[in-house]
Amino acid sequence: MAEDFAGLDEIGDWSVDKLRILRDYSERYSLILQNQRNQRGAKQFFTGYIDAFAGAGEHVHKTSGAIVKGSPLIALELPHRFDHYEFIDLNPERVGRLIRLAQRWSNVSVHQGDCNDVLLKAVLPKYRYDDYRRALCFLDPYCLQLDWKVMETAGRMRSIEIFLNFPIHDMNRNAKRKSIEDVDPKSWTNMTKFWGDESWHPAMFAPSRQADFFAALGGGEGPELEKVGNDSFAGAFQKRLKDVAGFKYVPDPVPMKNSIGAVVYYLFFASNNDTGARIANAIMKGYR
Ligand SMILES: C[S@@+](CC[C@H](N)C(=O)[O-])C[C@H]1O[C@@H](n2cnc3c(N)ncnc32)[C@H](O)[C@@H]1O
């Protein structure tokens, strides 16, 4: 019987790396948390795996044409299972496919809808720090589809760790204009929603060093702006995850490059747990 690939995404090697990092970390996370005991010897934490941009559960590899397991299947097949799985996707076809794939596991909820609403209203509130509930949340949008409120809420809750795919290519293409007035209104709205305020624009540009030099010699009309590099811009977001969202640990992200070496995403990890941060950093180091 012919395999049904309809509705599946094609993915490249960098996505495979992203999924490996996620699997390696999830495996350690669930092993450590599931084994922690309180003073009475009972299991200490209820653990959740949250996949906000879950997809169909499987992909097709661009070059080999092989089926590659997606993030939800990887999490479901871990040797030490999470206590509950929450999958969210906007696309009804992908959700249908994922429901079929996930039906042989228990403790799985699949939501169809905008993950920003579903996370803030229905999922994140289930993982209160004081209730000894902890969750690993994977935020894997294609482009500017995420709301800063999600990241800020996760940071403030202290019980949620995140992996975030930061869509630098989409940001550069749609929002990197010297004057903020030149950014089209839809891209401005999406960028401001993702970043949380308009400070993304000054973070994208710095006074030109050349113009500075001429101004210092008494010429010119003050510093011109020039585009900052991708690493600096990602660095500004890293600082924001710490200073504004309140994550204590945000290791340097992994730049994810396409087949011609251009950075398309940065994979971020953010947590309030030092052990988690140490493990994630050690895994990510091998890919930086
Ligand atoms: C990059 S794919 C996810 C891949 C998946 N995490 C994996 O690694 O197997 C992004 C997914 O996000 C979904 N999506 C886009 N906007 C969304 C939104 N606002 N809420 C939930 N899902 C969304 C798309 O339908 C798509 O399936």
Number of domains in the chain: 1
Instruction: Let me know if residue 196 belongs to a domain.
Output: no
Can you tell me the mean pLDDT for 158-171? 98
Q: Which atom of ligand 1 is nearest to the CA of 19?
A: 8
Provide the domain limits for residue 144: 9-174+230-285
In 3D, which of 160, 136, 123, 176 has the Cα closest to residue 246? 160
Instruction: Label residue 8 by pLDDT band (50, 70, 90).
Output: confident
Question: Is residue 1 predicted with pLDDT exceeding 60?
Answer: no
Classify residue 95: in a domain, yes or no: yes
Q: Does residue 133 lie within any of the structural domains?
A: yes
183 is a domain residue: no
CA of 94 to the centre of ligand 1 (A): 9
Best mutation site among 90, 110, 119, 165 for ligand 1 pocket (most ligand atoms within 8 Å of CB): 90
* d(CA 130, ligand 1 centre) in Å: 30
Q: Output the pLDDT for position 12.
A: 87
Closest ligand 1 atom to the C-alpha of 57?
A: 9
Give residue 156's pLDDT: 98
User: Distance, CA 230 to ligand 1 centroid (Å)?
Assistant: 23
Residue 170 CA to ligand 1 centre (angstroms): 15
Q: Is residue 84 part of a domain?
A: yes
Amino acid letter, residue 265: Y
Strands (E), 177-219: 205-207
Total-model pTM: 0.94
Name beta bridge partners: 254: 267
Q: One-letter amino acid identity for 190?
A: N
Residue 218 inside a domain? The answer is no
Residue 114 inside a domain? The answer is yes
Amino acid at site 117: D
Look up tokens 């660095």; give the residue: 235
Ligand 1 environment, Cβ below 6 A: 19, 53-55, 70-71, 88-91, 94, 114-115, 140-142, 145
| Residues present in the chain in total | 288
Give residue 225's pLDDT band: very low, low, confident or very high (50, 70, 90): confident
Distance 47 CA to ligand 1 centre (A): 22
**Residue 4 placed within a domain:** no
Ligand 1: centre distance to CA 222 (Å): 44
Using CB atoms within 10 A of its CB, is residue 183 exposed (0-12), middle (13-18) or buried (19+)? Answer: buried
Average pLDDT, the chain: 93
pLDDT tens string 21-69:
999 999 999 999 999 999 999 999 999 999 999 999 999 999 999 999 9
Q: What percent of the chain has pLDDT over 90?
A: 86
Mutation probe of ligand 1 site: the residue of 23, 89, 110, 258 with most atoms within 8 A of C-beta: 89
Q: Identify the CATH number of the domain in which residue 243 sits.
A: 3.40.50.150
Express each pLDDT in 75-121 by its tens digit: 999 999 999 999 999 999 999 999 999 999 999 999 999 999 999 99
